[in-house]
Homo-oligomer: A and B are copies of this chain.
């Protein structure tokens, strides 16, 4: 019998992505913050949507993407996050459950609609995200289901949860339950601007409630306000494991004295980088839950990231498990 009912429980904003291609002229004209995530209100959401080209809708949300990726690899995954009882909420719920992720957070029955992120993908395949949090602001400690987080080997949450008002309380509650049950807490810093908004709280989390950290280079150096190498020396003292991604330069995984460099997977054609970090976390965390060496965890992360950037959207297409199979087979 497995010790935990779930390998991985993810907590995050429940968002449907609205994706369209856009050239740089449009990015400039709409005064978007290229390459990062900007929070927008309902009025700006309406304005931006009206100025966006024809779009496609694909479920998203960082932590939800990570849960979907882990489930696609064969992991037992759960998600906690807040939608409204509207059509986009149904879409989000369907897509997660259809991927095999347990998702039972009750939708809100009043208030703002299900969150959406208007994502403009530029010709260089980079994404510029504009997120209207909608129903996500309703997530609170009452949504942290002990039957899920108390039964998960790893509980992973996104730094973006520090943006809506009550989600951080939900996280703190989760951390208490997880550690009491012998599980581990993992966080992704989400993006450099998110780190700017919440640096002190994130620093305090790492020293206390968090065991595993995911960050890219910009996020890490922003968090510690120093260069990458110095930040790496600091982070090993704050967390048990840090997985640090550097885009096409691959990633570095550190645990105490152990430092492992992982190359990025080669990708035939990068179509849309949305979800690269989220899916890296899917692969890495799935590896950890299978007690695989850091090097294998990192390779699984790279494989998942490579799959997600080869098509539009941040949810894996069919065949992710097949891509990972050779690495898993060699490692077991």
Contacts and interface: CB of A to CB of B under 8 A. Distances in A.
Question: Chain A binding site: helix, strand, loop or mixed by DSSP?
Answer: mixed
B21 A54 contact: no
A56 B56 contact: yes
Contact of A21 (B50, B96, B113, B317): B317
A98 interface: yes
A54 B87 contact: no
Contacts of A68: 54
A95 interface: yes
A98 B52 contact: yes
A188 interface: no
B21 A55 contact: no
A286 to B, nearest CB: 17
A135 to B, nearest CB: 12
A29 to B, nearest CB: 15
Interface residues of A, number: 28
A53 interface: yes
A94 B317 contact: no
A53 B87 contact: no
21 contacts: A21-B318, A49-B94, A50-B94, A52-B94, A52-B98, A53-B98, A53-B318, A54-B95, A54-B98, A54-B315, A55-B91, A55-B94, A55-B95, A56-B56, A56-B57, A56-B313, A57-B57, A86-B87, A87-B88, A87-B113, A87-B114
Given A50-B94, A53-B98, A57-B58, 5 more contacts: A20-B98, A52-B98, A54-B59, A54-B98, A54-B315
